[in-house]
Every structure is written in C-alpha cells, then in structure tokens.
C-alpha cells in the first residue's frame, strides 16, 4: 500500500512511528497511509528552512517572482493530474477540485507581482537634510496548518505569499487528504525554489503543538474549526508568534421579496450543496423575508433539490460527491436527527443515501429543513455538510439581526433588486465578507479573505495586501547625510583621474 512521506529539504523523507489511513471516499476503502511526524520531523524541517531562508530572502524580488511564474505554469500544465489526486482523497467532483486549485493559483498570480507590492514608502525632506523610508522584510520561517476541505487552495493562499515575500515555509496539511500538498511542494522545487524553502510535514495534534511551540517559527497561519482556531491562536501568541487563525462559519443568505427567486434557487443549490457543503463559505442558512417569500422559495427549492445528482468524484454530471470520511458522514447525519428532535420541519431527508456500486462510499443526500429557529443547536453550530436550513424572518430588520447576532461572522449574502436595501444591509451587518446577489462572496486574490467574531482570530486577513503585511515586518530608516566628505573637502567636487 502507498505510504505518503514528508517533504523536507527538497526530498521525500520518512519519519514518525505512527501512520493514519487515507480513504477513498467514493468506495470507503483505505487507499494509502500517511506518516504522522512529531518533534524530530519538525526539527528537521526547521533546520532545512533555516539553511535556505537567508539566501532566499537575499534573492531579489523579481527573481522570486520568476519562481512564482514557473510554479503557476507547472500547476496549470498538471491540472488534470492534480485535480484527480485531490478528488481521490477528498471526494469532491473533478470540476470542484479544479476550482479549488484555480482559486489557489489566483493568489500565486498575485504573488507574481511581488516586486511592485514590496516597494516601501519614501519621504524626501522630512526634516532639514533628512529623508525617511521604509522597507518590508521577511519574518524568517512561517508555518501553515491547513484543513481537508481545500487541500490546494488554502496551502497556496499561505505559502504563496509567505515564500514570495522571502520567507521559508513549513506546511502541515490535513492528514485526510495529504497527497496534493506533497505534489505542490514538488512542483515548487521544480519551479526553482531552493530546497528547504517549502517543506511539508504530516501529523496530528502532536505536530500542531510542536509547530506552535517551536522557537524558530515566527508566524503561523491556520484554517479549521473555531474551537481549534482559538486554541491555535492562544497557544501560538503565548509562544510569541504572529498568528492568524480562521475558524468556522454559518453563512446566511437573505432573500428579499423582490429577489429573482429562480436565480436565488440556482445559486442556493450550488452554494449550499456544492462540494457536499464542506466549505467555510458555503451558504447553509437561507432567510426569506416575509411568509409569502418563504412559501414561494420553498416551493421552488424542493424540485431543484430533487434534481441534484450525487455521484462519484469522477462523474462529470454529478453536482457533488461523497464527504471526506465515514466519521464525518455520521456527524452530519447526527445533526440531521438533532434537527428533527429539536422540532425543525424536515422537508428533504438526505440520510441513508447510497450509490449503486459504491455502497461503501461516504455519501450524504441533500437535506432541507424549514422553520428552523435561532435557539436550535443545529442553527447555532456549523454542520459542514449538504444541509440547507430555512429560517424565516418577518422583516428586513430581523433579517439583518440574524447573521449579525450569530457567533460566526464569516460570510453573508443578500438577494434583492433594491439598491438601497443592499447598501443598507452591507453597511450594517456584523459579518466580515458580504455578497450582494453573490452567494459565495470569497474576495478575489488581490483583496483579502477574513471573517469576524468566532470565524477569525488575529488582526490580519489571508492573502492580498493583508497577507503581505502578515508575512513581513516593517523597518523604517531615517537618514541624514552631512555636507562634505570625511576629510572636509567639498562633497560636490567629483574626483578626477591623473
């Protein structure tokens, strides 16, 4: 059986006495084992990073950008292979896997402009004969701890900006689908990055804690559940590190009475059920404003959900595939039962779904609840599966209040033809990312990604200029050149030969 090793110092490295199973979610079978490292493997990765980083930081930004250009070209050339590798371990359909990788590549494209982005500020004549300028310098060694749901995009969000700005990087991907991050590290080496600039170490909590405690790691970026994000942030900051930790979400979609319901339903089926709902920017809660809007929306949603095709990840006609593990499937189905027990109306039940010929796969059918209330646990918590909940609001004020009061504040959307309502909503809602007639408002790569409340811990967002700020520190120089040379001669007389 295939064993997935670490990538340390530019080569594949075995290490760690323990392993974890890597499943094929389509069949439920174990397809590989990944080595779970610990302190020794991390120390080796840090040593490789320390050896490589000073020379890389001294490499001019234009040459670092050329590596980013080459990496982008290699990923594009190998897109089909990479997407299939991703799908084989995650379960998302090939089209979603390509989208996962492409959104990561958009940050790499942003990094190709790093020479311009790193230009500092300059003030001439800040005082008599005094000039002041600033420069951004790398932190040294950064680390990223990434989740299973976007094994291509989120690592590239992190290591792209960190490496482009002159840092070395240690990536700890999810042990559930680790093969794609390993391939990305191999392609970065092929693109011209020095050995040791991008290392991949596998592991579980033991490795996470080793990263958070290691004195030579200056900064840590994390994406995962909110409880773990808070833990990572607290422990990392206590160890003196710069930390950004992105947590969970419960994104709402507000549907005003004047919205185009056909477009809303089309957007909702993709945003709620795409990638089996395993996205922090999924839209699992829809809030129709007014009973008439709710009834019309529900009537259109039911047949649209019935038309969804669930298939294996290689099925080009499937809307979504299996979830990542049997344990996650059981967790989602447990939430569905809890919703029933809490008194929500189960309109479409996705439990018990099986796919002929793939009966062991981790499939969950699309599920729809109506008349969900804010006191229900299933509303308060992130389900992270193909489950859509209808929470009815009596008016616009209640619709603004629902996402604003929720513990998570990652993303929100409003569907309306009314510009004033949209503008008012965007201004007032207590959420970090807002979509107006856009169901999944993930910002483009040259803006930044980050939620509020328990969706994010730390003051700096992912990618864009915010990412550059996170992975660099500012040095400000105040200079004055005295008149004349050291020997007292006129500094403006140019020496001549002979």
Task: Per residue of the chain (498 residues), give pLDDT as tens.
Answer: 899 999 999 999 898 889 999 999 999 999 999 999 999 999 999 999 999 999 999 999 999 999 999 999 999 999 999 999 999 999 999 999 999 999 999 999 999 999 999 999 999 999 999 999 999 999 999 999 999 999 999 999 999 999 999 999 999 999 999 999 999 999 999 999 999 999 999 999 999 999 999 999 999 999 999 999 999 999 999 999 999 999 999 999 999 999 999 999 999 999 999 999 999 999 999 999 999 999 999 999 999 999 999 999 999 999 999 999 999 999 999 999 999 999 999 999 999 999 999 999 999 999 999 999 999 999 999 999 999 999 999 999 999 999 999 999 999 999 999 999 999 999 999 999 999 999 999 999 999 999 999 999 999 999 999 999 999 999 999 999 887 666 656 555 555 655
Where do you find CATH 3.40.309.10 in the chain? 252-436
**Residues 304, 364, 23, 226, CA torsion sign:** positive
Q: Which DSSP category does 275 fall into?
A: G
Residue 457's alpha-carbon distances to 162, 179, 227, 233, 279, in angstroms, are 19, 28, 11, 6, 18
CATH of 252-436, one of 1.10.1530.10, 3.40.309.10, 3.40.50.300, 1.25.40.10: 3.40.309.10
Residue 14's alpha-carbon distances to 2, 23, 327, in angstroms, are 13, 20, 27
Q: What's the topology of domain 2-247+455-478?
A: Aldehyde Dehydrogenase; Chain A, domain 1 (3.40.605)
Residue 249's alpha-carbon distances to 36, 95, 224, 252, in angstroms, are 28, 24, 10, 9
pLDDT for 483 equals 76
The residues carrying an active-site annotation are 280
Count Cβ neighbours within 10 Å for each residue of 272-301 and write b for 16 or more, e otherwise. bbbbbbbbbbbbbbbbbbbeebbebbbebb
Three-state DSSP class for 393?
strand
Max CA separation in the chain (angstroms): 98
Where do you find CATH 3.40.605.10 in the chain? 2-247+455-478
């Amino acid at each position: 059986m295939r064993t997935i090793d670490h990538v340390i110092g530019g080569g594949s490295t075995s290490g760690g006495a323990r392993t974890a199973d890597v499943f094929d979610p389509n069949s439920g079978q174990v397809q590989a084992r990944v080595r779970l490292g610990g302190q020794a493997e991390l120390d080796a990765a840090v040593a490789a990073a320390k050896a490589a980083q000073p020379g890389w930081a001294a490499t001019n930004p234009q040459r670092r950008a050329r590596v980013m250009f080459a990496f982008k070209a290699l990923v594009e050339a190998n897109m089909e292979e990479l997407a299939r590798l991703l799908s084989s371990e995650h379960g998302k359909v090939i089209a979603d896997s390509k989208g996962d990788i492409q959104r990561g590549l958009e940050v790499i494209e942003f990094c190709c402009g790093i020479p311009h982005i790193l230009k500092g500020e300059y003030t001439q004549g800040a005082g008599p004969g005094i000039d002041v300028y600033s420069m951004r310098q790398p932190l040294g060694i950064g680390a990223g701890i990434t989740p299973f749901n976007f094994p291509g995009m989120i690592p590239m969000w992190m290591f792209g900006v960190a490496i482009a700005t002159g840092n070395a990087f240690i990536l700890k991907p999810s042990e559930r689908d680790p093969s794609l991050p390993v391939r990305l590290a191999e392609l970065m080496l092929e693109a011209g990055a020095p050995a040791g600039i991008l290392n991949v170490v596998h592991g579980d909590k033991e490795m996470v804690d080793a990263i958070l405690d290691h004195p030579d790691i200056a900064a840590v970026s994390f994406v995962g559940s909110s409880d773990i994000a808070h833990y990572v942030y607290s422990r990392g900051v206590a160890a003196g590190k710069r930390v950004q930790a992105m947590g969970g979400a419960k994104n709402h979609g507000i549907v005003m009475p004047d919205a185009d319901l056909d477009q809303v339903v089309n957007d909702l089926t993709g945003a709620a059920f795409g990638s089996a709902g395993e996205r922090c920017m999924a839209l699992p809660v829809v809030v129709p404003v007014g009973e008439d809007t709710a009834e019309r929306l529900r009537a259109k949603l039911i047949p649209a959900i019935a038309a969804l095709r669930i298939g294996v990840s290689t099925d080009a006609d499937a809307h979504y595939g299996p979830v990542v593990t049997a344990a996650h499937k059981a967790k989602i189905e447990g939430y569905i039962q809890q919703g029933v027990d809490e008194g929500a109306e189960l309109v479409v039940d996705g439990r018990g779904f099986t796919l002929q010929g793939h009966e062991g796969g981790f499939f969950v059918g699309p599920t729809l609840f109506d008349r969900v209330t804010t006191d229900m646990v299933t509303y308060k918590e992130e389900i992270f599966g193909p489950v859509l909940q209808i929470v009815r609001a009596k008016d616009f004020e209640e619709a603004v209040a629902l996402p604003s009061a929720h513990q998570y504040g990652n993303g929100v959307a409003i569907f309306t033809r009314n510009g004033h309502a949209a503008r008012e909503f965007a201004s007032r809602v207590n959420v970090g990312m807002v979509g107006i007639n856009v169901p999944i408002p993930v910002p483009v790569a040259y803006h930044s990604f980050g939620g509020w409340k328990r969706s994010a811990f730390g003051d700096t967002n992912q990618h864009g200029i915010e990412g550059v700020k996170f992975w660099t520190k500012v040095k400000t120089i105040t200079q004055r050149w005295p008149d004349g040379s050291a020997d007292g001669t006129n500094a403006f007389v140019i020496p001549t030969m002979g």
